[in-house]
Structure 1
Amino acid sequence: MGTVYLGLSPGERRVAVKVVRAELVADPGFRKRFAREIDSMRRVGGFHTAQVVDASPEGERPWLVTEYIPGPSLHTVLQELGPLPARTLRALALGVAEALEGIHACGIIHRDLKPGNVIIAEAGARVIDFGIARAVDATALTRTDFLIGTRGFLAPEQLTGAPLTPAVDAYAFGMVLAHACGAAPFPAGAELESALRMLPADLSAIVTACLSSRPTARPTPEQILEHLGGGTAGRAGDWLPPAVRTMVGLHNVPTITAS
């Protein structure tokens, strides 16, 4: 969609500045999508997402400024360090489920939940990038047969063109946890329950339910939170293993501004 820069607000707070690619600016459909992303982010807010600071969807080069969340993406963490321990998985599940609860409460479906859109910060997981989010009651702005989302995290109904519900985010949630524990991508021919045995029993049960082929069988974020509870998630900072905490710390190092 564009390039994201690290910037400073007038009060010298770090922000993330997304500037749209030049070749997309002339596409009115894209401008609608970008404006919708901004609207979605402003509506959701909440502790587990990135707050909008300012935006200009109608500018010569549309841009969006959000708070800077100091931490790597879950994708980067898994790529560099491998599967996460049980305590971290539980806190991750609670944080992402709480984010989805807030997103869905605003009548919005994220539609592209994946490790690259989850930031691992010291205080907890944050869900970002509402670039293809849509209001539940909105008319799709995409053309027919144009697949939106990331393969490997798409619910079956997203692949068949069936009506979408917030349950597609539950499916993606299950896949995110499966990747975070090292179970996914699933080996060819592997049974789901067998592949998820490396998860704690309660998390395995939730992920199995989230990956149901039937949308109505998947739990809501509220049901996930109720099932897992929050007592064992750990305090801020305690949920991260040392190697991940080091990665997060590197994102908190003050930057040097060239003169």
Structure 2
Amino acid sequence: MESPPAQVGPYVLLRKLGEGGMGFVHLARDPSGGHVAVKTMRPELAAREEFRRRFGKEAEAARRVARFCTAPVLDAGFDGGTAYLVTEYVDGPDLAEVVRQRGPLTGSNLEALAVGVATALAAIHQAGVVHRDLKPSNVLLSPVGPRVIDFGIAQLAGPEAPLTLAHSMGTPAYMSPEQAKGEQVTPAGDVFAWGSLMTFAGTGRPPFGSGGVAELVYRVVNHAPLLDGLDESLRPLVERALDKDPARRPTAQQLLDRLLGRAEVRVDTATKVVTDRWTPLPRPHAGPPPQGPAGVPTSPAGSGGSQTPVGSPAPHAAAGGPGQGALPHAPASTAPRPRRRWWVPVLTAVLAAVAGVGVTLAVVRPWGPGAGEPGTPETVQTVEALDSKLEIRVDALVRQGGTVRLQWTVKNVGEENAPLAGELGGGALDNTVSRVNLVPPGVGAPIYPARDDGACRCTQIPYAPFTSGQRVQLFAIYENVPEDVERVDIDMGPLGVVKNVAITAA
């Protein structure tokens, strides 16, 4: 096959990263010198009049999708007989690669993935677009959270395209029953795919197994999903999303509302929640990759993809082509990367927010490893409070300059319901944790959570029962903490005081 041209439109193609059923993915340089991902469609597709008509329409619709938890479409056009689509880079591996090499996601990252993908779908649907091919390789795990790519691209192949043509009509393991039967695909089909994707992320396997196309399609249409091992806090919502009847599935907006415990959550607010809860995944390196044009890493000849060694997560260098989840990551540096600390993007995002209510995932979830940053002493105590017995665990108390972030978990180990909403705030109508304060030694006044335009930079707790065995993770941001303070008492109001907790420096 001929090599792709050196330039498409105003974009200089640096190297091919991969290919799929609809075309190729290239690392490219835009006119300003920045890096973008350019997807060039196969000539036989671009030659079809129907495709050319659809391309302009669908590309314009994709450009209307808001940037919340998505990799936005920046440009599209034709250069001679080449149709191309330009998207923003996302620095991170895809979900399929991470689960394959590291196992299922757990804890806050699983929760953030659920919210992030639902947020992306809400933004996509609000623009009048249907994704049609949501699957693990179409979700990239960036340092600040998941990003959904390739929305609306599968539709470009047209309804006459065969199911087996490189997933142009969707991926069997993640498609909805109506899509598998060749019926009209609506936003409800994307919600079904969300349920399948979350099952894979939380268990390591899709809900209808694996196998040939015909076998998978039969299971999707006729079998109940296998959800064994999925986090119990997510399972009821995933079950609803996987309902065979699209009319009974929640919408993407309803997914967000259920996940965050409040009504009509805005996509920008949900995106801040994802950023706050997401822990960047470390990316081991086995040495510098070979360099291509302008210092861009190259792949081995003929590989068309990443050369990350087996056993470490690969940067997303085109697991497939357009329509197959193939958005590459930004070029990797040849210098070894220092370990990224989870709180850096979290703190940056929180401090950058200028309005809106600070919220977090007050989703009851199982205990999971890795809740605290290494080096932060774990502090646990049990108290009699709110008519029950509660276990309080300080997961992390980390500073950057004069700003400190507290993260802690409360578990109901008693027998009675102990609702938290309204108990840790400044009054019965304050369902935040604004009452929780730090008391440095020798300081007369306690330090309360910071505020933006009156809104607490802290957890907003949903009004819901908090019964025996349930647990919830909370956070608060504090400013102007003296930099010479190394330990504080944490006053949690009715939950008591946790004494002498060490602050971990960045």
TM class by shorter chain equals 0.7 to 0.9
User: For residues 91 and 65 of structure 1, do their structure 2 counterparts lie closer, same or farther at Cα, with a shift above 3 Å needed?
Assistant: same
Q: Secondary structure at the match of 2:146?
A: strand
Counterpart mapping for 1:1-259 below 5 A: 1-57=22-78, 59-129=80-150, 130-133=152-155, 141-143=158-160, 146-147=162-163, 148-182=169-203, 184-186=205-207, 192=225, 195-229=226-260, 235-236=275-276, 238-242=278-282, 247=313, 251=329, 254=332
Matches of 1:204 and 1:81, distance apart in 2:
22
- In structure 2, what is the equivalent of residue 137 of structure 1? none
Of 42-51 and 167-176, the range deviating more from structure 2? 42-51
**3-state SS in 1 of match to 2:64:** helix
- Partners of 1:26 and 1:231 lie apart in 2 by 39
Higher relative contact order (CA 8 A, sep 6+): 1
CA–CA distance in structure 2, aligned partners of residues 99 and 232 of structure 1? 13
Question: TM-score under structure 2 normalisation?
Answer: 0.44
| 1:27/1:187 CA distance change after superposition, 3 Å | closer
Task: Assess if the C-alpha contact under 8 Å between 1:74 and 1:118 holds in 2.
Answer: yes
Distance of aligned partners of 1:156 and 1:32 in 2 relative to their CA distance in 1, 3 Å threshold: same
Pair 231,131 (structure 1): closer, same or farther in 2 beyond 3 Å: closer
Instruction: Report the AA paired with residue 159 of structure 2.
Output: T
Secondary structure of 2:186 counterpart: coil
Identity %: 38
Q: Which protein has the bigger helix share?
A: 1
Larger radius of gyration: 2
- What displacement does 1:47 show? 2.3
> Counterpart of 1:142 in structure 2: which amino acid?
P
Q: What is the number of residues matched between the two proteins?
A: 248
8 Å CA contact 1:84–1:181 kept in 2: the answer is yes
1:187 to 1:37, Cα distance in 2 relative to 1, 3 A? closer
Q: Structure 1 residues 8, 255: CA separation in 2 closer, same or farther (over 3 Å shift)?
A: farther
Distance in 2 (alpha carbons) for counterparts of 1:158 and 1:72: 28
The CA deviation at 1:197 is 4.2
Q: Distance in 2 between matches of 1:2 and 1:231?
A: 31
Q: For residues 37 and 82 of structure 1, do their structure 2 counterparts lie closer, same or farther at Cα, with a shift above 3 Å needed?
A: farther
SS in 2 for 1:174: helix
Do the aligned partners of 1:91 and 1:239 also contact (CA within 8 Å) in 2? Answer: no
Higher-strand-fraction structure: 2
RMSD (CA atoms) = 3.2
Structure 2 residue identity aligned to 1:65: V
Render the CA deviation track for 1:148-173: whole Å, top value 9, x for unaligned: 21101111111223333211001000
Distance 2:31 2:118 in 1: 34
Residue 12 of structure 1: CA displacement? 2.4
**2:109·2:279 contact (CA, 8 Å) conserved in 1?**
yes
Which sections of structure 2, spanning at least 5 residues, go unmatched?
1-21, 164-168, 210-218, 261-269, 285-311, 317-328, 335-506
Q: Distance in 2 between matches of 1:11 and 1:255?
A: 20
Q: 1:89 to 1:72 in 2, by over 3 A?
A: same
* TM-score, normalised with respect to structure 1: 0.82
**Whole-Å separation in 2 of the counterparts to 1:232 and 1:198:** 28
Secondary structure of 1:90's counterpart equals helix
Task: Note if contact 2:203-2:230 (Cα within 8 Å) is conserved in structure 1.
Answer: no
Gaps of at least 5 residues in structure 1 are: 135-139
**What per-residue deviation string (whole Å, max 9, x for no partner) do you get for residues 37-80 of structure 1?**
41232121322222233221463211122211111111222222
Higher mean alpha-carbon deviation, 110-119 vs 145-154, is at 145-154
2:140 aligns to what SS in structure 1? Answer: strand
Matched to 2:237, the amino acid is I
Q: Deviations over 1:207-235 (max 9, x none)?
A: 11111111111111111111111699664
